[in-house]
Chain A
Amino acid sequence: MVTTLTDVRRARRVAEQVPDPELPMLTLADLGVLRDVEVTGDGTVVASLTPTYSGCPAMAEMRADVAARLREAGYARVEIRTVLNPPWTTDWITPQGRRKLTEHGIAPPGAAPRPASGPLPLVLSPTRRTVACPRCGSADTEETSRFAATSCKALWRCRTCREPFEYVKEI
């Protein structure tokens, strides 16, 4: 079987459009967890996914969703591979993904922390981080909890419009 560029493009487009199970306003491409899609010589579509958090309960769901969508699109042979390296960071979320998060009331992450060359220092002094309220845009916001309904989010509140909101924390 001859694999054409069109096959790869089409398969890629199908996989890219699969929504994230926990942030369904984002596609897996927006989230940056779809690392690669290729079509092998025998026509198997191989999609590579990388996990966000080690314990992200949505990984199995993502794998199944991508496989199901590709099969529905007519690809009989589908393989989903896990890629661990380099590890996912929130920097992989695309500009489009960040815009969609804001539109849905979730503040997008800032720049992910750079890997330290030596031991990671523990900072106990209060750190100033400005997170704009995704509803009213005010910068007068505060963190209420660094952990929230999913691994990837923190809870914040806006002191201007008084609304609580979620924030995809940098990792």
Chain B
Amino acid sequence: MSDDHVYLTLAEGHEDDARWAYGTGFEDPLHGVDTTVPEGVDATELAALCVALADDALVSAQRLAEWTTRAPELEEEVALANIGLDLLGQARLLYTRAGQADGTGRDEDAYAYFRDAGEFRCVRLAELPDGDFAFTVVRLLVLSSWRLAHFEQLAAHPDPVLSAIAAKGVKELAYHRQYAAEWAVRLGDGTEESHRRTRKALEQVAPYFGELFTAYDVRDEVVAVLRQVVEAAGLPMPVYRPLPGSGRQGEHTEHLAPLLAELQSVARAHPEATW
């Protein structure tokens, strides 16, 4: 054991059971956690909720990762990748919980790589293309505020696993919301061009608010945060003209399938492989 230099210890060989944040065939991230679904919790509903929240996170993480090598500044690239990584971690835990709750025992890879677009339950706002930096910031502001409000409630969920995942997620999402809010103010209150683009981004996200607020009582909190940010940014609240349909019902935009095709391509080409 090479304890003499801290970094040398990292180069030690492993029995092939330790890998970093890429590839397939990871060890269950909930390994050793009590998987019982408590009495009084509807296991089917719990699984559906976990899948929907995981799909939002996985698809958002993929969109955020698309900024890698393309962000306006290195610091923003690192920030967006970090936020995506947090969401990917939340997705892994939630998929694993879903597979336990729905009785299929499916692992995270089965949900992420081997379902088609119609089986995904992410909200459509998550799957829209990145657009410009202003759109990415405004979308992140809306989605992180919404997810944070939702996770604050879920921290009291009767399922102890979902509750623990949510309690951990709240801390991460607070950082995501803070990042997006500060950038939204900076852009809205910045140059004429950044103001124009941020205003346009607000108008582009507004039609997708409807499906965020259907099932959960978080609307007031999210709208209050959004109002606080747009006021500080000198921007108007966008007019809400809802689009019909909902990603939560499996109704998606034309943008989800190409996103999944890329995300799933290697796993599907080599279904038994781990890397």
A53 and B27: CB pair below 8 A?
no
Contacts of B136 in A (CB 8 A): none
B82 and A151: CB pair below 8 A?
yes
B181 and A124: CB pair below 8 A?
yes
A146 and B179: CB pair below 8 A?
yes
Contacts of A155 in B (CB 8 A): 75
The minimal Cβ–Cβ distance linking B212 to chain A, given in whole angstroms, is: 16
What does DSSP make chain A's interface, helix, strand, loop or mixed?
loop
**Is A74 an interface position by the 8 A CB rule?**
no
A80 and B20: CB pair below 8 A?
no
What does DSSP make chain B's interface, helix, strand, loop or mixed?
helix
From A4-12, A58-66, A133-141, the one touching the partner chain is A58-66
A61 and B20: CB pair below 8 A?
yes
Q: How many residues of A contact B (CB 8 A)?
A: 50
Please pick, from A21, A87, A122, A146, the residue contacting B229 in the complex, using a CB distance under 8 A.
A122
Interface centre among A21, A67, A122, A148 (most CB of B within 10 A): A122
Please pick, from B10, B32, B90, B185, the residue contacting A48 in the complex, using a CB distance under 8 A.
B32
**Is B272 an interface position by the 8 A CB rule?**
no
Contacts of A169 in B (CB 8 A): 175
Q: In the bound complex, what is the Cα–Cα distance between A136 and B109 (angstroms)?
A: 47
**Is A2 an interface position by the 8 A CB rule?**
no
Contacts of B152 in A (CB 8 A): 119-120
Q: In the bound complex, what is the Cα–Cα distance between A60 and B152 (angstroms)?
A: 27
Interface size class of B (residues with CB under 8 A): 35 or more
* Contact A124/B6 with A82-B30, A85-B160 known, Cβ cut-off 8 Å: no
**Is B164 an interface position by the 8 A CB rule?**
yes
Q: In the bound complex, what is the Cα–Cα distance between A19 and B5 (angstroms)?
A: 11
B78 and A19: CB pair below 8 A?
no
B75 and A145: CB pair below 8 A?
yes
Contacts of B15 in A (CB 8 A): 64, 68
**Is B178 an interface position by the 8 A CB rule?**
yes
Number of A-B pairs, beta carbon distance below 8 Å: 144
The minimal Cβ–Cβ distance linking A52 to chain B, given in whole angstroms, is: 9
Q: In the bound complex, what is the Cα–Cα distance between A24 and B78 (angstroms)?
A: 22
From B115-123, B166-174, B191-199, B257-265, the one touching the partner chain is B166-174
Contacts of A55 in B (CB 8 A): 21, 85-90, 92
A81 and B31: CB pair below 8 A?
yes
**Is B39 an interface position by the 8 A CB rule?**
no
B32 and A81: CB pair below 8 A?
yes
Which residues in chain A, 146-171, are within 8 Å of chain B measured between CB atoms?
A: 146-149, 151, 155, 169, 171
A82 and B221: CB pair below 8 A?
no
* Contact A147/B6 with A60-B18, A64-B15 known, Cβ cut-off 8 Å: no
Which residues in chain B, 1-20, are within 8 Å of chain A measured between CB atoms?
A: 1, 6-7, 9-10, 12, 14-15, 17-20
- Mark contacts of B20-38 with chain A using CB atoms, 8 A cut-off: 1 yes-contact digit, 0 otherwise: 1100001101111100000
Cβ-closest chain B residue relative to A57: B21
Q: In the bound complex, what is the Cα–Cα distance between A89 and B174 (angstroms)?
A: 14
Please pick, from B29, B88, B182, the residue contacting A124 in the complex, using a CB distance under 8 A.
B182
**Is A79 an interface position by the 8 A CB rule?**
yes
A-B contact pairs, 10 of them (CB 8 A): A60-B27, A64-B14, A72-B1, A87-B164, A120-B148, A122-B181, A147-B79, A147-B179, A148-B82, A151-B85
- 4 other A-B residue contacts (CB within 8 Å) besides A55-B85, A84-B33: A54-B90, A55-B21, A80-B32, A169-B175
